Amino acid sequence: MAKNTLDDYKKDQKDYSIDTSKKVRVGIIGTGWIAGDHIREYLKMPDVELVAVADLIDGKAEAFLKKNGAEGVKVYRTHKELIDNEKLDAVSVCTYNMQHAPCAIYALEHGVNVLLEKPMCVTMEEAEAIMKAEKKSGKIVSIGFQPRFNPNMQMIKKIVESGELGKIYHIIIGGGRRRGIPTPYGTTFIEKETGGLGALGDIGCYALDMVLNGMGYPKPLRVSGRTTDYFGKADDYKYKDVFGVDDFAIGFVRLENDLTIDFKTAWAMNVDSMGDTIIMGTKAGLKIPSSGHWGSIDAPLKLYRNIGDTAVETVIPMSKEPEEGVFYWKIRTFLDAVKYGGPAPVPTSQVIYNQAILSGVAESAKLGKEIEIVIPEI
Ligand SMILES: NC(=O)c1ccc[n+]([C@@H]2O[C@H](COP(=O)([O-])OP(=O)(O)OC[C@H]3O[C@@H](n4cnc5c(N)ncnc54)[C@H](O)[C@@H]3O)[C@@H](O)[C@H]2O)c1
C-alpha cells in the first residue's frame, strides 16, 4: 500500500523497510537547479535504478552527472529521445514551467509515471491535457510540493480537521519576498517562453497549496486578479530586457462553501512582508507566520479565540522536520506509489484547483475583470 503522509510512515515505522527486490527504473528530464535535489535523493534509494537523464543544453547533462558522481548513467538531449529509447517506470520532470506539460504528457503516453515539479503547468488547457493523459495511461502524476511532508505544515490540516476553528469563511495569504527575483543559474524563471508565469506560479503555488491542502482543496469558483512587473522592468534591473512575467500578483478568489481567499505573492516589493497567513474561522483564527523561504514554517502557529469575554492565544508547539528532509519524502512517497499502484501522494485532482487559481489570476489580470473558473470534467 502506498503511503501519502509522514504520519502514514510513522505509524508503522518499525516495520517500514524498502523492498529492494523490485527496482524502479527512473529518468530525469531537465538537469538544472532542482534536478540536483532529485538525483541526490534517487541515488540514496536502494530500490532505484537511475537509467538516464536528458537536457536540451549541450554538455549540461554530462556535467550534472559528473557533479553528482553518477557518470555511466545514459544521457539524451530531449525528453522524447529519453522516453523513446529507454524502458522506464518513472520520470522526474525538472524542466522550466513551459515544458512541464509536453514532457509529462509524452511520458504518460508512453506508460511512464511522472513526478512533476511545481507549479503543475502554466495554463488550464495544459492542466486538462495532463489529467486526460494521466487517466488514459492508468499511470500517476504527483506534483512536487515537498512542504506537504513538513509536520508543521501538516499541523495546519490537523487543526482545520479538528473543527477547532469552526466554520472557515476567509483566508488571507501573506508573505512575499522583499528582493528575490530568481535568477540563480540563468533567466529561465523570468522569460515568458520558459517561465510562463512569474512569482504567481513560482511561489504563489506554494502559498496556495499550504492553505488549500489544509482546507481539503475546496473548489474555486471565481477570481479577480492583477499582476505587475515594476521590479523586473525597472531601468536599473540587469535582466529588464528579457523579463517577461509578473513579479507581483494578487487575487480575490471565491470558492465553494462560502469561502474567500485574499491571495498575494511577490518576488520583489518595498516592504519586508505582506503579513502572515491567516485562516479566519467562527470559533478561532489561525495565524501562520510568514517565512523567509518557501516550504517551511520557522515560527509557531498561533490559535486565537475567546473563552467567554477573555481573548486567548494558544501557541502550537513546533515539530521537528523529518531527519531525512522533506525532499526525501517527496521522492519516497512517489516511488512507493509507483511500486504499489498509487494513489499519487500529491494528486493532480487536487492541484488542478491550485492551477485554476494561478491561471485564473493571470487571465483575469489580462482581461481586467473578474472571471469564472471552469474546472474541466476529466
Ligand atoms: N520543488 C522545489 O523546491 C523547486 C525549487 C526550484 C525549482 N523548482 C521547479 O523546478 C522546475 C525547474 O527549475 P530549475 O530551477 O531547475 O530550472 P533550470 O532552468 O535551472 O533547469 C531546467 C532545465 O530543463 C531543461 N529542459 C527544458 N525542457 C527540456 C526538455 N524538453 N528536454 C530536456 N531538457 C529540458 C533546460 O535545458 C534546463 O537545463 C521549475 O518548474 C521550478 O518551478 C522546484
Q: HEC string of 299-312?
A: CCCEEEEEECCEEE
CA-nearest of 115, 232, 221 to 183 is 232
Nearest CA to ligand 1 atom 6: 34
pLDDT of residue 339: 96
**Mean pLDDT for the stretch of residues 313-317:** 98
Question: 274: helix, coil or strand?
Answer: coil
User: How many Cβ atoms sit within 10 Å of the Cβ of residue 176?
Assistant: 24
Instruction: Name the residue of 65, 67, 85, 95 whose CB sits within 8 Å of the most ligand 1 atoms, as the mutation to test its pocket.
Output: 95
Q: Are strands 168-172 and 277-281 parallel, antiparallel or unpaired?
A: antiparallel
Atom of ligand 1 nearest to the CA of 182: 15
Question: If you count them, how many residues does the chain have?
Answer: 378
Q: What is the pLDDT of residues 345-361, one digit of tens each?
A: 999 999 999 999 999 99
For residue 34, report the distance from its CA to the centre of ligand 1, in Å: 6
Confidence of residue 17 (pLDDT cuts 50, 70, 90): confident
CA of 324 to the centre of ligand 1 (A): 23
From ligand 1's centre to the CA of 25, what distance in Å? 21
Confidence grade of residue 2 (pLDDT, cut at 50, 70, 90) = low
Distances (CA, A) of 336 to 4, 27, 108, 151, 350: 9, 16, 18, 20, 19
Q: What is the pLDDT of residues 32-80, one digit of tens each?
A: 999 999 999 999 999 999 999 999 999 999 999 999 999 999 999 999 9
CATH topology assigned to domain 148-321+355-372: Dihydrodipicolinate Reductase; domain 2 (3.30.360)
Alpha carbon nearest to ligand 1 atom 15, residue: 33
Task: Express each pLDDT in 159-177 by its tens digit.
Answer: 999 999 999 999 999 999 9
pLDDT of residue 12: 61
Pocket of ligand 1 (CB under 6 A): 29-35, 54-57, 60, 78-79, 94-97, 99, 103, 117-118, 144, 146, 185-186, 188, 202
d(CA 254, CA 220): 6
Closest ligand 1 atom to 99 CA: 28
Report the chain's mean pLDDT, rounded to a whole number.
Answer: 95
Give the Cα separation of 96 and 196 in Å (integer).
Answer: 9
Q: What is the mean pLDDT of residues 300-312?
A: 98
The rounded Å distance from CA 33 to ligand 1 centre is 7
Scanning the structure block, which residue is given the C-alpha cell 486538462? 128
- Separation of 265 CA from ligand 1 center, angstroms? 21
Is the pLDDT at 148 greater than 70, yes or no? yes
Crossing angle of helices 100-109 and 124-137, in 10° steps, is 20
> Quick one: the chain helix, strand, coil %, rounded to 5?
35, 20, 45
Which grid coordinates belong to 284? 478561532
Residue type at 166 in one-letter notation:
G
CA–CA separation, 203 and 216 (whole Å): 20
3 state DSSP class of 177: coil
Domain segments of the chain as ranges: 6-146+325-346, 148-321+355-372
Least confident stretch, 4-18, 82-96, 202-216: 4-18
Instruction: Report angle CA 347, 321, 12 to the nearest 5 degrees.
Output: 70
Residues 6+ apart with CB under 8 A from 11: none
For the CA of 76, the nearest atom of ligand 1: 33
Q: Where residue 8 falls among pLDDT bands split at 50, 70, 90?
A: confident
Calculate mean pLDDT across residues 230-249. Answer: 98
User: 238 CB contacts (<8 Å, ≥6 apart)?
Assistant: none
Residue of 37, 39, 55, 187 best suited for mutating to test ligand 1, as the one with most atoms within 8 Å of CB: 55
Q: What is the mean pLDDT of residues 289-304?
A: 87
The C-alpha atoms of residue 221 and residue 254 are separated, in whole angstroms, by 6
Domain 148-321+355-372 in the same topology as domain 6-146+325-346: no
The superfamily CATH assigns to domain 6-146+325-346 is NAD(P)-binding Rossmann-like Domain (3.40.50.720)
Distance 29 CA to ligand 1 centre (A): 8
Residue nearest to atom 7 of ligand 1 (CA): 34
